[in-house]
């Protein structure tokens, strides 16, 4: 983990000790109050800096502690602070690493500072996926299995109604048994919860495997082998995300997407975003365009935004200008089909986390 002060050095900044002392308490406070939406906004700051609107909550937090802190005077530092918050959030938030990868768009964007943060986010994303599927169930201690005396203990307490020392002793024994029972029950509950989570993960992976083996889209009810590369890439990412219940998804998801897309006939070379979107059949375009994207940073969802614009405005080049305005990307930006599928998959997962925060 990069130390707070070292993050400034990596960005070529040399703040005073007084500045660091003012920023760190704010940093710690923001870490405790991050929401899913704020996490996505931090990823946006990381890649766009102050070129796009910086949210008021972020600027206000630092300007309250330092009246000299402004968007104009501290433009580069704002990106550094966002990177620090995201790095410190990676260990506890799967959404943070997924948001950075989503905003990166397969390398089409580069962070304004901290060039290594994308690699760190990818490692955190893979680690989180592995932890979800390899979490070992808890163990129930045999030593805690209580030898409950049950009604006999209660009867002993009742019989000692006129013998206070014996009654107190009996009540203490009963309370001790109750505490042991409670501990034992909590261990059983923890173990059952772990097994339930493992069962959900196994069912999720099995559903994905059958989806891949079947080779038929859940969205348009057509075989992937009959689709074009562009439409198949977008639809496969959308389909697989619909089978994913928790972020960042199973570790095998990217490989399943890659194999599914590679099985679609056609050249596996790069496609522009416009080409992929224009290849979508109307039914798929209409279905994907219904994804709820109100009041979210659109920069994090370029493929979904492109589909929405194409559905609302019309075929190319009609939607290109609106797309570039909302995402900062050119419609002729190129990605490999597998990268497009993975990008759609990540976008849907992030959007789902925003709509259903836990």
Give the per-residue pLDDT at 186: 73
Q: Tell me the HSE value of 100 on the side-chain side, using a 13 A CA sphere.
A: 29
User: pLDDT digits over 167-176, tens only?
Assistant: 567 667 766 7
pLDDT value at 353 more than 60: yes
pLDDT band at 123 (very low <50, low <70, confident <90, very high): very high
pLDDT value at 144 more than 90: no
pLDDT value at 210 more than 60: yes
pTM of the model: 0.84
Give the per-residue pLDDT at 7: 87
pLDDT band at 149 (very low <50, low <70, confident <90, very high): low
Please, which residues have CB within 8 angstroms of residue 130's CB and are 6 or more apart in sequence? 251
What is the domain partition of the chain in residue ranges? 4-134, 142-190, 215-355
Give the per-residue pLDDT at 154: 52
Taking each helix axis from N to C end, the angle separating 151-159 and 164-214, rounded to the nearest 10 degrees, works out to: 160
pLDDT value at 279 more than 80: yes
Cα-Cα-Cα-Cα torsion 328, 331, 337, 343, nearest 10 degrees, comes to: 30
Please, are residues 338 and 263 in contact by the beta-carbon 8 Å criterion?
no
Q: How far apart are CA 82 and CA 58, in angstroms?
A: 9
Q: Which residue has the higher pLDDT, 155 or 120?
A: 120
Lowest-confidence segment of 6-10, 148-152, 193-197, 353-357 by average pLDDT: 148-152
Give the per-residue pLDDT at 168: 60
Give the per-residue pLDDT at 26: 96
Partners of 271 in beta bridges: 335
Partners of 334 in beta bridges: 272
User: pLDDT digits over 219-252, tens only?
Assistant: 998 999 999 999 999 999 999 999 998 888 888 8
Give the per-residue pLDDT at 266: 86
H/E stretch holding 335 reads: strand 334-335
Rounded mean pLDDT of the chain?
Answer: 87
Give the per-residue pLDDT at 280: 96
pLDDT band at 34 (very low <50, low <70, confident <90, very high): very high
Give the per-residue pLDDT at 183: 74
- Mean pLDDT throughout 3-23? 88
pLDDT value at 146 more than 80: no
């Amino acid at each position: 983990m990069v130390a707070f002060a070292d993050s400034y050095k990596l960005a070529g900044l040399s703040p005073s000790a007084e500045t660091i002392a003012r920023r760190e308490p704010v940093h710690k406070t923001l870490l405790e109050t991050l929401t899913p939406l704020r996490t996505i906004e931090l990823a946006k700051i990381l890649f766009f800096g102050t070129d796009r609107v910086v949210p008021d909550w972020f600027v206000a937090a630092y300007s309250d502690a330092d009246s000299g802190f402004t968007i104009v005077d501290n433009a580069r530092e704002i990106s550094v602070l966002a990177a620090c918050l995201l790095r410190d959030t990676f260990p506890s938030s799967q959404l943070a690493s997924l948001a950075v990868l989503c905003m990166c768009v397969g390398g089409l964007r580069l962070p304004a500072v901290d060039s290594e943060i994308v690699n760190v986010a990818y490692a955190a994303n893979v680690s989180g996926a592995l932890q979800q599927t390899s979490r070992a169930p808890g163990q129930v201690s045999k030593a805690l299995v209580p030898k409950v005396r049950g009604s006999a203990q209660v009867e002993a307490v009742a019989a000692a109604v006129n013998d206070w020392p014996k009654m107190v002793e009996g009540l203490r024994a009963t309370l001790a048994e109750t505490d042991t029972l409670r501990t034992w029950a909590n261990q059983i509950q923890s173990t059952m919860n772990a097994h339930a989570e493992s069962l959900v993960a196994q069912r999720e992976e099995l559903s994905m495997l059958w989806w891949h083996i079947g080779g038929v889209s859940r969205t348009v009810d057509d075989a992937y082998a009959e689709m074009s590369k562009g439409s198949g890439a977008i639809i496969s990412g959308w389909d697989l995300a619909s089978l994913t219940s928790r972020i960042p998804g199973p570790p095998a998801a990217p490989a399943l997407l890659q194999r599914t897309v590679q099985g679609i006939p056609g050249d596996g070379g790069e496609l522009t975003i416009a080409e992929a979107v224009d290849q979508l059949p109307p039914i798929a375009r209409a279905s994907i365009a219904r994804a709820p994207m109100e009041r979210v940073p659109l920069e994090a969802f370029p493929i979904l935004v492109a589909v929405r614009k194409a559905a609302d405005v019309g075929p190319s080049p009609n939607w290109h200008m609106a797309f570039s305005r909302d995402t900062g990307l050119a419609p002729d930006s190129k990605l490999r089909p597998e990268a497009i599928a993975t990008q759609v998959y990540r976008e849907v997962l992030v959007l789902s986390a925003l709509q259903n925060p836990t």
